[in-house]
Amino acid sequence: MNKPDMLLLDNQLCFALYSTSLAMTKVYRKALKKLGLTYSQYLVMLILWEKDQQSVSAIGERLFLDSATLTPLLKRMEVANLLARHRAPNDERFVIVSLTAKGKQLKIDAGVVPDELLCATACELDDLMSLKEQLEHLRKQLIKNI
Amino acid sequence: MNKPDMLLLDNQLCFALYSTSLAMTKVYRKALKKLGLTYSQYLVMLILWEKDQQSVSAIGERLFLDSATLTPLLKRMEVANLLARHRAPNDERFVIVSLTAKGKQLKIDAGVVPDELLCATACELDDLMSLKEQLEHLRKQLIKNI
DNA sequence: TAACATTAAATAGCTTGCAATTAAATAGCG
DNA sequence: CGCTATTTAATTGCAAGCTATTTAATGTTA
């Protein structure tokens, strides 16, 4: 590719990444509407469904997000009665996030969401798996440069 | 692959997409800091450097964004003296966005940005082009389901 | 133990991105 | 022409996500 061409929008991987991510979020928005969750909230729920009672920083490490994003997000989820936030008794710097009954219950309804998304991609599983790995590799490289 | 794995994979792909996109934006934030641009603003500049004098909706079609996002963004760029916004004389529904001298000048300094990003990915150009095409294909499928 | 450093979370202030709605101009059609 | 439909931006109100900073708790060390 010629150097001037690199400034062309359509030649940029980064824009494909950015715009596809936004499109994916929109599909999720539709799929998650009946659960009353946003995509970010859904990610937090996935982590807590895997293992309940995690600190804000532990959640943040999984999601690559920090407390500036998570604290307000978790507070909104607390208001929605999906989870509770309490300081850890042994080390009060940590805030432990735990699911409410409603939060646990929601896992059942959420079961169909991945199906819907998979269907929306209209892609072969092998291709998606490959794409996932390429993205994770790219993410690893990019994070080194932040 | 059994069904739970399929569902898990789907979550993982979407998360890989989401988290890699955020990581990419952070690398851009660093690279664009000296230009005084955000990533979204940089995208608008790319479009206008390609072809000056475009309507808000024309820009929106390229970026998959609507006026609710673009109007405030363009206003901030107008305040920063990067561009000007004027109603089209022949059809006053359209707002034509045009580069200022400062906005045109900025293209020169922006020349190094794609190089920096390419370097940050630490990937082969061929791999990135392939990834770009896979993402564009996925985006096309997802957009059908919005 | 007192002073300092580190850590976890919260906060302030900002830009994006979106759904839903509104305002204004133009198109189309009787 | 006059009425309605369509089109383009703008607006409103919200959730994320970020940088930079602050607060509070815990570690460390002189």
Reported as a pLDDT band with limits 50, 70 and 90, residue A8 is confident
Tell me which chain B residues have a C-beta less than 8 angstroms from the C-beta of A28. Answer: 14
Q: Which residue has the tokens 């710097």?
A: A93
The reported pLDDT for the residue numbered A19 is 98
Q: How large is the average pLDDT for residues A11-34? A: 96
From the alpha carbon of A55, which nucleotide's C1' atom is closest? Answer: C8
Cα distances from B140 to residues A95, A114, A121, A136, B47, in angstroms, run 41, 19, 9, 21, 20
In the predicted model, what is the mean pLDDT of residues A41-58? 97
DSSP label at residue A97:
E
Asked whether the beta carbons of residue A128 and residue B43 sit closer than 8 angstroms, the reply is: no
Distance C20 C1' – A1 CA (angstroms)? 43
Instruction: Nearest by CB to B20, from A26, A121, A142: name it.
Output: A142
Nearest-nucleotide field for A71 (CA, C1'): C10
Q: What angle do CA A72, B142, A103 make, to 5 degrees?
A: 35
Integer distance in angstroms from the first to the last C-alpha of chain A?
26
Averaged pLDDT for residues A49-56: 97
Distance from CA of B100 to the nearest CA of A (A): 19
List alpha helices for chain B, DSSP H. Answer: 3-32, 39-50, 56-63, 67-79, 101-110, 113-121, 125-144
Q: How confident is the model at residue A6 (pLDDT cuts 50, 70, 90)?
A: confident
Q: Residue A60 pLDDT more than 80?
A: yes
d(CA A19, CA A92): 41
Residue B15 has pLDDT above 60, yes or no: yes
User: B14 at the A interface (CB within 8 A)?
Assistant: yes
Determine if the pTM surpasses 0.85: yes
A1 has a pLDDT exceeding 80: no
CA of A19 to C1' of D10 (A): 23
Chain B interface includes A53 (CB < 8 A):
no
Distance between CA A85 and CA A78 in Å, rounded? 7
Using CA atoms, how far apart are residues B113 and A17, in angstroms rounded to an integer? 17
Tokens of B104: 């045109």
pLDDT of B8: 76
Residues near chain C (nucleic strand), Cβ < 7 A?
Answer: A 18, 22, 25-26, 29, 55-57, 60, 66-68, 70-72, 74, 85, 93-95; B 38-41, 64-69, 72-73, 76, 90-93, 146
Indicate if the pLDDT at residue B6 is higher than 70: no
Average pLDDT over residues A99-116: 95
Q: Is the pLDDT of residue B7 over 70?
A: no
Nearby residues of A64 by Cβ (< 8 Å), 6 or more positions away: A143, B19, B22, B23
pLDDT at B1 over 60: no
Measure CA to C1' and name the residue nearest C7. A93
- Which residue type does B145 have? N
Q: Does A136 touch chain B (CB under 8 A)?
A: yes
Mean pLDDT of B8-26: 92
Average pLDDT over residues A98-126: 94
Work out the mean pLDDT of chain B and round it to a whole number. Answer: 94
Mean pLDDT, range B72-95, rounded to an integer: 98
Angle, CA B56 vertex, CA B64 and CA A19 arms, to 5°: 15
